[in-house]
Amino acid sequence: MDITTIAVVGAGNMGHQIAICAALAGFRVTCTDTSAAMLDKASAFADTYLAERVRKEKLTQQAADQTLASLAFVPTIETAVADADLVIEAIIEKLDIKRTLFAQLDKLCPAHTILATNSSYIVSSNIADATARPDKVCNMHFFNPALVMKLVEVVKGPHVSDETVDAVMNAARKMGKTPVLLHKEIYGFLVNRLLQATRQEALKLLDMGVASPEAIDTAVMNGLGYPMGPFQLLDLTGIDLAYHVGMEKYRETGDPADRPSPTVVEKFIKGEWGKKVGKGFYDYEQ
């Protein structure tokens, strides 16, 4: 199956960048969100981002114009997904909300449409049975910032057809990404399992009062050669996301070790969710 039209549901941290990426690669793209403010912000970001690429001579004006012409931010989900060959869901990490959305997408989309989730942790077999097309429901996991990071994890759950996997891998390649295929479903896939190990230890060291976020980030960047420290990365990906993911895992396993760390809970309650709100472990200009 040849994918030409993509709908991204959710214009947040990940969704708006996935949409711009797809439009830059020549797909026809719609991006929708229940929040008009998020859509406005995403649309303004696309204008600024593409203008900046032209200014930096990384993109021609013609390519920027074409990208904007093939990218629509639309408030109604019915319109957004009506012609999609592939829907990429990038909404909040709550299983019940995702299941409701996928049941709705199943009714709204053409029969051939592949429904992919960008979930960071939730495997698609927990969602696929909310639809009548489980063979066309899979994980397609991008990394933050999606315009920059090359990796996409594609997960072949037992319900997913080979045709779906091939189409999604090809779409990722066309987007300029490097897809990797997981042959088994596993919570957190590859990268987030590895990331979580570093992050948990960093939060533990902070909660124990061993060192500041700045010192731990400096240690990880200079001692391990990572481009960013764990606290800078938490601010980038969102402390709210870390909180919701931790709570989902805790609900699933009941293991207190899976609960979000006290620091993450405190920051979540205070609304200090990271870069997108101007404050997390660090302060940012808005």
Active site residue 159: no
Catalytic residue among 192, 244, 248, 261: 192
21/109 with CB nearer ligand 3HC: 21
Of 214-243, binders to ligand 3HC (CB under 6 A) are 227-228, 233, 237
The reply, when asked if residue 144 is annotated as ligand binding, is yes
Answer for the pair 275, 235: CB distance below 8 angstroms, yes or no: yes
Read out DSSP for the chain?
Answer: ----EEEEE--STTHHHHHHHHHHTT-EEEEE-S-HHHHHHHHHHHHHHHHHHHHTTSS-HHHHHHHHHTEEEES-HHHHHTT-SEEEE---S-HHHHHHHHHHHHHHS-TT-EEEE--SS--THHHHTTSS-GGGEEEEEE-SSTTT--EEEEE--TT--HHHHHHHHHHHHHTT-EEEEESS--TTTTHHHHHHHHHHHHHHHHHTTSS-HHHHHHHHHHHH--SS-HHHHHHHH-HHHHHHHHHHHHHHH--GGGSPPHHHHHHHHHT--BGGGTBSSSB---
Regarding 147 and contact with ligand 3HC (CB under 6 A), the answer is yes
Is 153 tagged catalytic?
yes
Q: Is there a catalytic annotation at residue 248?
A: no
Q: Confirm or reject binding of residue 173 to ligand 3HC (CB under 6 A).
A: no
Q: Least CB distance from residue 94 to ligand 3HC, whole Å?
A: 15
Q: In the bound complex, what is the minimum distance in angstroms from residue 264's beta carbon to ligand 3HC?
A: 14
Contact between 102 and 131 under an 8 Å Cβ cutoff? The reply is: yes
In the complex, minimum distance from the CB of residue 277 to ligand 3HC, in angstroms, rounded to a whole number: 15
CB atoms within 10 A of CB 3: 18
How many Cα neighbours within 13 Å face the side chain of 89? 30
- 285 is an active site residue: no
By CB under 6 A, the residues from 101 to 120 that bind ligand 3HC are: 120
* Cβ proximity of 74 and 52 under 8 Å: no
Binding to ligand 3HC by CB under 6 A, coded x per residue (else -) over 10-49, reads: ----------------------------------------
Q: Is 176 in the site for ligand 3HC (CB under 6 A)?
A: no
Give me the catalytic one of 153, 185, 248, 261: 153
- Least distance from C-beta 274 to ligand 3HC, angstroms? 11
Kindly tell me which residue out of 37, 111, 148, 208 binds ligand 3HC, with binding defined by CB under 6 A: 148
Size of the site for ligand 3HC (CB under 6 A): 15
Minimum CB separation from ligand 3HC for residue 233, in Å? 5
195 binds ligand 3HC (CB under 6 A): yes
Which of 63, 149, 182, 265 contacts ligand 3HC by CB under 6 A?
149
**Cα distance between the two ends of the chain:** 42
Indicate the annotated binding residues.
Answer: 10-15, 33, 93, 98, 120, 144, 276
Active site residues: 120, 141, 153, 192
Q: Which residues contact ligand 3HC by CB under 6 A? A: 56, 58, 120, 143-145, 147-149, 192, 195, 227-228, 233, 237
